[in-house]
């Protein structure tokens, strides 16, 4: 494809993205699709001869796009947000255009150095301890696995890497921790039998006394406590584990302390929310995802570690074909995680942080929190609804409650959620809290404004009325 043609289509694609983002609120949030609907309209084989970009783009618009869910929709309140933003999209275009492979310093010096710089910007923005060093991973699942592996190696004096796992090592998290802890413990060879899910208090936060008790029980059984994973902003209800007390316990027992703030971490840019991270100086590692609530399109997970040496010792490899003359002076990020190949992800983060500035990001986060607090106050004021968890940030957990049994309420709320999502006007998801079915509403998409939240709340009230009568 020559330069002229690339420009021609490039402009068309830019126009499409511009129009899409401008009008994303006009689409039904989720497509009306059954499994197999798209598969059946696509050919079973790749074409023998190349096709025109006109035809491919047309098929994209008519066959693929109608099957997409719109995560950037202003009434996207499902899961946690996965924001992109104009500067992030534009930077991704440059990254793809250069096509550099940033596994080591020498294969793109600017990529390594910019990653070091912007990760330090993030560290300061969130008020993380001075010595912590950052690296970009793909997801928080991977980041937590990286933490578990570092913990495993440190607890075994870096011998598990050599001899395999030779004794049971125990992992602790709350019973509200993310599923990635369980997945990571499987992958790293701990086994789910050695995950202790510590009970939570009425606000769904880990009870530190129960953690210490459990560690002591394991020690009595001659099992080795290895890693504690605390969550700042759990997936179900954005509960906040008390880092300071948990950190003290980890220090006393010499256990790796990892903090998973995948969603909530971004809110630490606000001085008034910094309390969430009280005790963070005890953490050995910390993760939050700029690809959730910080306007940086997926993937971009920010992993910080107190002692990079133990991280590198866990992952380093030295094949001859990757050796360079500067290996002693630089950070070769291939040794900071699982994958060898690495995209130039620091570029989009740099674009985002500069374009919005710290105050711009603070403003957006404050707005989302205040909109969530508006929903909370509406729920408090409406006798048909029940708030199911505290709302420290932008996630509201609630259910419709007309006094039926919990089991009947589960059914009722499942039905309400279905009805709501079927309108295509908004998207919500659910969870369970202490066994009860709960609807989650998370305000966090960059396109979301006051009017979107108010309109959505009115719709929720209306559908609730319909379902009750």
Residues 184-223 that bind a second copy (CB under 8 A): 186-194
If binding means CB under 8 A, how many residues of this protein chain bind a second copy?
153
The DSSP letter of residue 77 is -
Report the distance separating Cα 299 and Cα 88, nearest Å.
Answer: 11
Is the CB of 160 or the CB of 282 nearer to a second copy?
160
Q: Residues 237 to 266: which contact a second copy by CB under 8 A?
A: none
The only residue of 74, 75, 77, 114 in contact with a second copy, by rule CB under 8 A:
114
Q: How far apart are CA 85 and CA 360, in angstroms?
A: 13
User: For residues 41 and 252, which CB has a smaller minimum distance to a second copy in the complex?
Assistant: 41
Strand, helix or coil at 142?
A: helix
We find the least distance from the C-beta atom of residue 5 to a second copy, in angstroms, to be: 8
Backbone angles phi, psi at 217, to 5 degrees: -60, -45
Is residue 168 at the binding interface for a second copy, with CB under 8 A as the rule?
yes
Binding range to a second copy, per CB under 8 A, among 4-12, 200-208, 244-252, 401-409: 4-12
- Of 157 and 359, nearer to a second copy (C-beta) is 359
Out of 100, 270, 387, 467, the only residue in the binding site for a second copy (CB under 8 A) is 100
Q: Closest separation between CB of residue 291 and a second copy, Å? A: 7
Place of tokens 């971004």: 266
Half-sphere exposure of 67 (CA within 13 A, CB side): 15
* 271 is a contact residue toward a second copy (CB under 8 A): no
- Which of 75, 77, 105, 428 touches a second copy (CB under 8 A)? 105
Nearer to a second copy, 190 or 385 (CB): 190
How many C-beta neighbours within 10 Å does residue 379 have?
A: 21
Residue 325: CB minimum distance to a second copy, A: 8
Can residue 27 be called a binding residue for a second copy (CB under 8 A)? no
Binding of a second copy at residue 312 (CB under 8 A)? no
Q: Which of 321, 403, 405, 469 binds a second copy (CB under 8 A)?
A: 321
* Beta bridge mates, 169: 224
Of 377, 454, 440, 452, nearest to 233 by C-alpha is: 440
Residues 354-393 that bind a second copy (CB under 8 A): 354-360
Closer of 199 and 360 to a second copy (Cβ): 360
Token output for 264: 């909530």
Q: How far is the CB of 419 from a second copy (least distance, A)?
A: 13
Our CB check for a second copy shows the closer of 161 and 423 to be: 161
Residue from 94, 404, 458, 466 touching a second copy (CB under 8 A): that is 94
Site for a second copy contains 320 (CB under 8 A): yes
Under 8 Å between Cβ of 348 and 92 = yes
Q: How far apart are CA 40 and CA 38, in angstroms?
A: 5
Using CB under 8 A as the binding rule, whether residue 231 contacts a second copy is answered as no
Query: Rounded distance, CA 340 to CA 435, Å?
Result: 42
The token pair that represents 308 in the structure block: 């990079």
Name which of 297 and 394 has its Cβ closer to a second copy.
297
CB neighbour burial string for 36-54, b if at least 16 within 10 angstroms, e if fewer = eeeeeeeeeeeeeeeeebe
Question: What string marks each residue from 135 to 154 as x (binds a second copy by CB under 8 A) or -?
Answer: ---xxxxx--x---x--x--
Order of strands, sheet of 195-198, starting from the edge strand that comes earlier in the sequence? 133-137, 301-305, 285-288, 256-260, 224-231, 169-174, 195-198
The dihedral through the CA atoms of 465, 466, 468, 469 has a sign that is: positive
Residue 371: phi and psi, rounded to 5, are: -65, -35
150, 174, 231, 235: which one contacts a second copy (CB under 8 A)?
235
Residue list 396-435, contact with a second copy (CB under 8 A): 429-432
Q: Which of 127, 216, 219, 338 contacts a second copy by CB under 8 A?
A: 338
Q: Is 229 in the site for a second copy (CB under 8 A)?
A: no
Structure tokens at 32: 């009306």
Q: What is the DSSP string of 201-264?
A: -TTS-B-HHHHHHHHHHHHHTT-EEEEEEEEBS-TTT--B--HHHHHHHHHHHT-EEEEE-TTG
**Interface with a second copy in residues 34-93 (CB under 8 A):** 35-39, 42, 44-51, 53, 55-56, 60, 64-72, 79, 82-90, 92-93
> Would you say 140 or 243 has its CB closer to a second copy?
140
Interacting residue with a second copy among 75, 108, 283, 457 (CB under 8 A): 108
C-alpha neighbours within 13 Å on the C-beta side of residue 355:
16
Site string for a second copy, 438-467 (x = CB under 8 A): --x---------------------------
Figure out which of the listed residues 157, 164, 222, 405 binds a second copy, where binding follows CB under 8 A: 164
């Amino acid at each position: 494809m020559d330069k002229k043609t690339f420009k021609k289509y490039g402009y068309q694609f830019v126009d499409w993205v511009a129009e899409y983002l401008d009008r994303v609120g006009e689409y039904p949030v989720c497509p009306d699709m059954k499994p197999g609907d798209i598969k059946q309209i696509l050919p079973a084989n790749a074409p023998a001869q190349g096709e025109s970009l006109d035809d491919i783009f047309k098929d994209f618009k008519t066959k693929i796009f109608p099957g997409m869910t719109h995560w950037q929709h202003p009434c996207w309140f499902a899961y946690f947000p996965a924001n992109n933003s104009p500067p992030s999209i534009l930077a991704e275009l440059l990254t793809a255009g250069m096509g550099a492979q940033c596994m080591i310093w020498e294969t793109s010096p600017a990529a390594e150095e910019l990653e070091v710089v912007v990760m330090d910007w993030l560290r300061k923005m969130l008020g993380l301890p001075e010595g912590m060093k950052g690296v970009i991973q793909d997801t928080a699942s991977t980041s937590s696995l990286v933490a578990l592996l570092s913990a495993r190696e440190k607890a075994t004096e870096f011998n598990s890497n050599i001899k395999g796992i030779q004794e049971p090592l125990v992992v602790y998290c709350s019973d509200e921790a993310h599923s990635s802890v369980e997945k990571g413990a499987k992958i790293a060879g701990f086994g789910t039998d050695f995950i202790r899910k510590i009970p939570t208090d009425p606000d769904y936060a880990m009870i530190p006394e129960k953690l210490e008790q459990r560690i002591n029980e394991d020690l009595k059984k001659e099992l080795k406590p290895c890693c504690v994973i605390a969550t700042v902003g759990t997936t179900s209800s954005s509960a906040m584990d008390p880092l300071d007390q948990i950190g003290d316990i980890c220090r006393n027992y010499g256990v790796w302390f990892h903090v998973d703030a995948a969603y909530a971490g971004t809110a630490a840019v606000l001085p008034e929310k910094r309390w969430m991270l009280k005790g963070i100086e005890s953490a050995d590692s910390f993760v939050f995802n700029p690809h959730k609530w910080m306007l940086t399109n997926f993937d971009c997970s920010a992993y910080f570690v107190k002692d990079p040496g133990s991280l590198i010792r866990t992952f380093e490899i030295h094949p001859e074909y990757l050796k360079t003359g500067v290996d002693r002076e630089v950070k070769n990020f291939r040794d900071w995680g699982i994958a060898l190949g690495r995209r130039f992800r620091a570029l989009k983060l740099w674009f985002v942080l500069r374009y919005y500035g710290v105050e711009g990001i603070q403003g957006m986060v404050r707005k989302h929190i205040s909109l969530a607090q508006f929903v909370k106050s509406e729920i408090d004021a409406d006798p048909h609804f029940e708030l199911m968890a505290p709302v420290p940030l932008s996630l509201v957990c609630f259910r419709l409650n007309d006094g039926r049994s919990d089991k009947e309420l589960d059914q009722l709320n499942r039905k309400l959620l279905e009805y709501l999502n079927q309108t295509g006007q908004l998207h919500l998801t659910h969870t369970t809290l202490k066994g009860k079915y709960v609807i989650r509403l998370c305000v966090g998409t960059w396109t979301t404004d006051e009017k979107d939240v108010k309109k959505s709340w009115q719709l929720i009230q209306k559908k609730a009325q319909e379902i009750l009568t």
